[in-house]
Amino acid sequence: MRWFKLLLSAAISLLLIWALNRPWGTMPFAIGEFINPFTGFWQNAEPANLQAGGQLSIPGLKAPVTVVYDNRRVPHIFAQNNDDLYFAQGYVMARDRLWQMEFQILGASGRLTEILGVGPDSSILKFDRTNRRKGLVYAAERSYEFAQNYPEVMDAAEAYANGVNAWISSLKPADLPLEYKILNYKPQPWTSFNTWILQKYLSNMLAARADDIRNTNALMVWGRNVFDILYPEFAYAEDPIVPADTRWDARTANPKPPVPAEYKPDSILKKPASAFLPQPDPGLGSNNWAVAGSKSVTGNPILSNDPHLGLSLPSIWYEMQLHAPGVNAYGVGFPGGPGVVLGFNDSVAWGSTNAGMDVMDYYRVISDEKEEKYFFDGEWRPFTLRLETHTIKGGEAFVDSVKYTHYGPVIFDENFGSQPLPLAINWMAHEQSVDMLFFLKMNRAKNYHDYEEALKYWVCPAQNFVFASRAGDIAIWQMGKYVNKWPQQGRFVMDGTQSVYQWSSFIPSDQQPHSLNPERGFVSSANQHPTSSVYPYYYNGGFEDFRNRRLNQLLSEKEKYGVDDMKNIQLDNYAVFVADILPLMMQEVDTSGFTQMQREAWNLLKAWDYNYDRDQAAPTIFENWWEELYRNIWQDEMDAVGLPVPWPDRSTTIGILRDSAAFTFYKDATDSLKKDRKSLINRSFDRITGKLANDFPSISEWIWSRHKQTDIHHLARVFAPFSRLNIPTNGSGHILNATGNRNGPSWRMVVALGDKVEAWGVYPGGQTGNPGSKDYDAFIDDWANGKYYRIWFMNNKDQDNGSEAARLSMIPEVKTNPN
């Protein structure tokens, strides 16, 4: 009996400990480990009155470094040399954002299965395979090799990595960021190579736009005439980045290469392809501009920038000041890389928007039976094989062998995307480059000349870099390496067997779209066409057609602009898009048979000033109506194709609606009530008012912010409580205040140059990535309410304006000599 009791008790004890020490079901963590207050999640419950200061002795530093944290937890780093500066930057970024830094790198290098497994329906493995097959790691390796020639960059990345590793090695299990504890894995040592992966992550986010496959499908299905109507290269109204009246000297321009003699883009694929990569969200866009001293109330240039990116927690940006001999820069940077990316120093300010250029082209490859060689200019060339090993949590490794041509990797073939004819990509992100040098040089730039010098290093992703200097210059350059293309080159899948289809030469960098001190007194960009059609080179891409017109209009209205004007422009909610189409839509509606509720909705639209204010119902009514109308025009035809084809964009649709009361695509074979513009518009209005009334009985429930739902998700979507959902915001993607459902202004910045630089900024997140800290989402409400923080730009480490919250002294660890 006693034996029995003992054995029973021992068995229960062991079973309990065993059960608490292993993951169960979908929970990746062990309960005992996760829940105990000494090493588990309780350790991440950051005390509300955290003091980040103190004194630390750290191996690897050359001289003492002071980090002043202000009351928004922004570190102001004061170092005595560049190595220490980037070391300390790596250290403080890792301290606040380690998990995010590593997670982004794992994502970009296609290694998420290592920590998450293959995911539902193998979705995570597919994501990883896509990134590997796009050659992101291959691209990073090539650039990393190239960067060895640029010690300035290599040293910064090495010092940064050393700083990150100094932080990692100081961590005990209890100190690990929460996500490691939940997902139950450990950080790996950080390498300088990761910074190159980060650069390619940006290219993948911003320069992977390539609709070649879908365009080719559309061309094959509809023929050239219809294709040109559905996908025109210029919209009905354009206000390009470089003022339209700028003259380009066609004589100094390199001639366009000739169009290949037998160019038939509709016969390169035997049949339309079913494989294609998801295209970047159209909400990814940005605004930037600078007004000259002559147009500013301060008499000095004022620069503004608000990059619109996918919103996430932790935020893509980290705010900081970097001070060392020869540099004093402030702004935001990417967790994972050295330097300030968007910001200012005592002499200049800079910002960027995405160029939207198509710099990824597809080539159809003909391979031999054994799939070892491909045909090119009359001979067989061997593929280079790259074996991509996917380590999978809780499973066996998966090996994907990716064939490389001289263009780049074969992304789709029978093994991936069920594509019978292999498709290879040639992508500017694969070019060797040291783009990061642009940031390091801008951090130290004194004038326009330094800016021009820094631009030379920027290859991909192509950006519109706006610039302003204390000396009074304002400028904008669209920078990135561009192919000198023959007309339409790269719009459709090309023939990979002939050299005439290859990229042959590049546009000389001094002839890229740019504008320096234009007469109108401002430079601006909002992801629109960089130039008018008189630009001597051919380019294609995805360009925004609405925000730019509003921006340039607002910047032309007044004699002089102050800082508040700049903020008001960033927060402007007026929709050019609505002004372009709603009057026509309303004019077509037959109001005679209106219900009470339709009448109410109608009156709201009539009284509307086209501002997307969060508490208005009119934007909700319009957006629903437009969506319904847009779907009613295109959906039946697009669905009938049964293959990926691009949907015509909004401005094209508006252009067609305005020009044509009747159009083949208006008709619907299954719905006799839809036959022309008038019937479509009426029918869609009836439908959406019915649907809205059904979903929300009272019009007061139709307010825009509730309909739009701005959600900022945690980077790993699985943790709902770490996200901030349903944030009430104004604006929409096609509006200057481009706050949508999941995208929006990821950093709003206004910099007034002068003897004393003054700046304001805010981003939708918080400095720390710890969901257990009150600072995790500290800026979101102010951001949503259109507030800005006055930036504390320090001159020296002992300056005090009452904003200092903590001071961290980092001292080189001296190895004591025994004896």
Partner 1 sequence: MKFTIRVICIFGLGYLATLWFPWWSVAAVGFAVGLLLSEKRKRRRLFGKQPTPPRTFLAGFLAVFLLWGVFAFWADWQNHSLLSEKISRIVVPEGNIFLSRAWIMILVTAIVGGLAGGFSTMTGNLLGEMVRGQEKD
Nearer to partner 1, 3 or 815 (CB): 3
Question: At how many degrees (to 10) do helices 596-607 and 576-588 cross?
Answer: 140
3-state secondary structure of 429: helix
The yes or no reply on residue 778 touching partner 1 (CB under 8 A) is no
The yes or no reply on residue 46 touching partner 1 (CB under 8 A) is yes
| Selected binder of partner 1 within 22, 26, 48, 687 (CB under 8 A) | 48
Nearer to partner 1, 181 or 683 (CB): 181
| Selected binder of partner 1 within 1, 3, 387, 818 (CB under 8 A) | 3
Nearer to partner 1, 315 or 353 (CB): 315
Stretch 471-500: interaction string toward partner 1, x if CB under 8 A: ------------------------------
Nearer to partner 1, 15 or 661 (CB): 15
| Selected binder of partner 1 within 45, 259, 534, 584 (CB under 8 A) | 45
Nearer to partner 1, 731 or 771 (CB): 771
The yes or no reply on residue 767 touching partner 1 (CB under 8 A) is no
Stretch that binds partner 1, among 32-40, 192-200, 324-332, 727-735 (CB under 8 A): 32-40
Stretch 615-644: interaction string toward partner 1, x if CB under 8 A: ------------------------------
Nearer to partner 1, 76 or 181 (CB): 181
Say how far apart CA 599 and CA 594 lie, in whole Å. Answer: 6
Nearer to partner 1, 49 or 596 (CB): 49
| Selected binder of partner 1 within 126, 373, 774, 797 (CB under 8 A) | 774
Stretch that binds partner 1, among 17-25, 388-396, 455-463, 804-812 (CB under 8 A): 17-25
| Selected binder of partner 1 within 60, 472, 646, 772 (CB under 8 A) | 772
Sheet holding 710-714, edge to edge: 312-313, 710-714, 724-727
| Selected binder of partner 1 within 21, 603, 726, 795 (CB under 8 A) | 21
Q: Whole-number minimum distance, CB 604 to partner 1, in Å?
A: 34
DSSP symbol at 532: -
The yes or no reply on residue 47 touching partner 1 (CB under 8 A) is yes
Token output for 803: 């904003």
Stretch that binds partner 1, among 6-14, 70-78, 93-101, 609-617 (CB under 8 A): 6-14
Torsion of CA 506, 510, 515, 517, to 10 degrees: 170
Say how far apart CA 660 and CA 568 lie, in whole Å. Answer: 37
Pairing of strands 474-479, 514-516: antiparallel
Helix (H) or strand (E) holding 390: strand 384-390
Q: Angle at CA 733, nearest 5°, toward 465 and 99?
A: 70
Stretch that binds partner 1, among 69-77, 283-291, 532-540, 716-724 (CB under 8 A): 716-724
DSSP symbol at 293: G
Within 139-198, the residues that bind partner 1 by CB under 8 A are 178, 182
Nearer to partner 1, 3 or 698 (CB): 3
Q: Which amino acid belongs to residue 187?
A: P
For 466-486, the DSSP string reads EEEETTS-EEEEEES--B-BP
The yes or no reply on residue 725 touching partner 1 (CB under 8 A) is no
Q: Which amino acid belongs to residue 191?
A: T
Say how far apart CA 803 and CA 792 lie, in whole Å. Answer: 8
H-helix segments, 21-122? 31-35, 82-108, 113-116
The yes or no reply on residue 722 touching partner 1 (CB under 8 A) is yes
The yes or no reply on residue 37 touching partner 1 (CB under 8 A) is yes
Q: Whole-number minimum distance, CB 95 to partner 1, in Å?
A: 18
The yes or no reply on residue 516 touching partner 1 (CB under 8 A) is no
Q: Whole-number minimum distance, CB 172 to partner 1, in Å?
A: 10
3-state secondary structure of 453: helix
Q: Are 740 and 705 in contact (CB under 8 A)?
A: no
Q: Are 717 and 265 in contact (CB under 8 A)?
A: no
Say how far apart CA 300 and CA 472 lie, in whole Å. Answer: 6
Q: Which amino acid belongs to residue 29?
A: F
The yes or no reply on residue 711 touching partner 1 (CB under 8 A) is no
Say how far apart CA 281 and CA 620 lie, in whole Å. Answer: 21
Within 784-803, the residues that bind partner 1 by CB under 8 A are none
Q: Whole-number minimum distance, CB 4 to partner 1, in Å?
A: 10
Residue 559: exposure state from Cβ atoms within 10 A (0-12, 13-18, ≥19): exposed
Total binding residues toward partner 1, as defined by CB under 8 A = 40
The yes or no reply on residue 664 touching partner 1 (CB under 8 A) is no
Q: Which amino acid belongs to residue 71?
A: N
Nearest alpha-carbon partner for 765 in 751, 775, 750, 755: 775
Q: Whole-number minimum distance, CB 34 to partner 1, in Å?
A: 9
Handedness of CA 169, 173, 177, 183 (dihedral sign): positive
Site residues (vs partner 1, CB under 8 A): 2-3, 5-6, 9-10, 12-13, 16-17, 20-21, 31-33, 35-49, 178, 182, 719-722, 771-774
